[in-house]
Amino acid sequence: MTAAESTIHVDALSKTFRVPVREAGLRAAAKSLVHREHKDVRAVEAVSFEIQAGEVVGFLGPNGAGKTTTLKMLAGLLYPTSGVVRVLGHVPSRRESVFLRQITMVMGNRNQLQWDLPALDSYELIRAIYRLPAEQFRETRDAFIELLDLGDQIRKPVRNLSLGERMKAEFVGALLHRPGVLYLDEPTIGLDVTMQKRIRSFVAEYNQQYGATVLLTSHYMADVEALCKRVIVIHHGRILFDGGLADLAARFDSTKTIGVTLRDGVADLSPYGDVIGTEDGKSTLRVPRADAPRITSRLLADLDVADLTIEDPPIEDVIELVFADASRAVDEARTAESAASPR
């Protein structure tokens, strides 16, 4: 696969920040005025991936994993320390106008609309910046306003809108120029469940209608499960997993969960597996993935089962397990490195 065939091409992309450091206290502060010490912080380290046109990809990782730094390099807001990145055939850091007209970036709790003006006025400014044809602009604006059910909210000063209303208005502004690549960084953060669902539906509709490529970061797994068939998991600046969302559990979690409801009420199911919950007459077991068919057969043969389900563990649990394993590996590597270094 070549860069020309991919909407987003990333090869060995790295970003290192040089940051000042000093000890606490007045003496250390005075010393730093004369001789300031620095250390290198690797935010992203040799990341490589390809994303094709029309894909919606989840970009997952804990805080500080390097997600936003990567998105900023893909958008041209940060210059890479090393590596190659091309988006739609362009080098993002060159900030060419033809490139900028084809991308957008939406960051939760970050505003691009004018705070004291109605969103409608900011939309007119965006139209002028992108030199959008008046008819296309009105058609796109009105369609997005209807899809997001904004109504008269766009006529109020942005400062008077709720967080959810403001995020919907931000999405309209960010997509007025119909970009082909969307970088969405925690777009539903702080929103209630209903508003999250509305934003997800809008993103899915935009992707389907315009064939846009979407790279999404979110700590809400409902966003990822609703929109993404593929996920890239990053931790400590490195990619841990790149593949189908459905394959994530199979690779990192060797268990299945079995939900059992008995006709004669709750019974002790501990002989069949690890009982992790009982609620409203339903018991949930965690069992080894390879043993799930055999245990299911035993349950059906031994008990009067009213309902039985077999599922992968919740994606939140799998992601947490991935991060925990990665952190443990990093700690072990640092310990080994410390023990090997001369004192």
Find the CATH number of the domain harbouring 40.
Answer: 3.40.50.300
Among candidate residues 210, 225, 248, the one where a domain is terminated: 248
Q: With helix as H, strand as E and coil as C, how does the chain read? A: CCHHHCCEEEEEEEEEEEEEECCCCHHHHHHHHHCCEEEEEEEEEEEEEEECCCCEEEEECCCCCCHHHHHHHHHCCCCCCEEEEEECCECHHHCCHHHHCCEEEEECCCCCCCCCCEHHHHHHHHHHHHCCCHHHHHHHHHHHHHHCCCHHHHHCEHHHCCHHHHHHHHHHHHHCCCCCEEEEECCCCCCCHHHHHHHHHHHHHHHHHHCCEEEEECCCHHHHHHHCCEEEEEECCEEEEEEEHHHHHHHHCCEEEEEEEECCCCCCCCCCCEEEEEECCEEEEEEEHHHHHHHHHHHHHHCCEEEEEEECCCHHHHHHHHHHHHHHHHHHHHHHHHHHCCC
The two three-digit tokens of residue 216, written as one number: 């999404």
How many domains does the chain fold into?
A: 2
pLDDT at site 1 = 41
pLDDT at 331 over 70: no
Which residues fall within 8 angstroms of residue 105, CB to CB, at 6 or more apart? 71, 75, 77, 174, 182, 183, 184, 185
Q: How confident is the model at residue 202 (pLDDT cuts 50, 70, 90)?
A: very high
Residues 262 and 149 in one domain: no
pLDDT at site 34 = 73
pLDDT at site 3 = 44
| 35 within some domain | yes
Provide the residue range defining the domain that includes 266.
Answer: 254-311
Among candidate residues 227, 248, 269, the one where a domain is terminated: 248
Residues 205 and 264 in one domain: no
Tell me which of 331 and 253 has the higher pLDDT. 253
Q: How confident is the model at residue 2 (pLDDT cuts 50, 70, 90)?
A: very low
Residue 77, phi then psi, degrees to nearest 5: -85, -20
Structural contact between residues 14 and 82, judged by C-beta atoms closer than 8 angstroms:
yes
pLDDT tens track for 3-41: 447 899 999 999 999 887 777 777 767 777 777 777 888
pLDDT at site 338 = 58
Residues 244 and 271 in one domain: no
CB atoms closer than 10 angstroms to residue 223: 23
pLDDT tens track for 101-140: 999 999 887 788 888 999 999 999 999 999 999 999 999 9
Tell me which of 52 and 267 has the higher pLDDT. 52
Residues 262 and 283 in one domain: yes
Among candidate residues 248, 267, 287, the one where a domain is terminated: 248
Residues 117 and 243 in one domain: yes
Residues 187 and 139 in one domain: yes
Residues 154 and 289 in one domain: no
Q: What is the mean predicted confidence (pLDDT) over 146-159?
A: 90
pLDDT at site 126 = 94
Q: How confident is the model at residue 339 (pLDDT cuts 50, 70, 90)?
A: low
pLDDT at site 341 = 60
Average pLDDT, the chain: 87
pLDDT at 330 over 60: no
Q: How confident is the model at residue 151 (pLDDT cuts 50, 70, 90)?
A: confident
pLDDT tens track for 38-97: 788 889 999 999 999 999 999 988 888 899 999 999 999 999 999 999 999 999 999 999
Residues 281 and 233 in one domain: no
Percent with pLDDT over 90 in the chain = 53
Q: Which of 113-127, 159-173, 314-328 has the lowest mean pLDDT?
A: 314-328
d(CA 62, CA 65): 5
Residues 232 and 161 in one domain: yes
Sheet with strand 181-185: strands edge to edge: 103-107, 181-185, 213-217, 56-60, 230-235, 238-244
| 88 within some domain | yes
pLDDT at site 248 = 82
pLDDT tens track for 280-296: 888 999 898 889 999 99
The two three-digit tokens of residue 237, written as one number: 């600046």
Residues 172 and 304 in one domain: no
Task: Name the pTM for this structure.
Answer: 0.80
pLDDT at site 326 = 64
Residues 227 and 302 in one domain: no
pLDDT tens track for 221-244: 889 989 999 999 998 888 988 999
| 333 within some domain | no
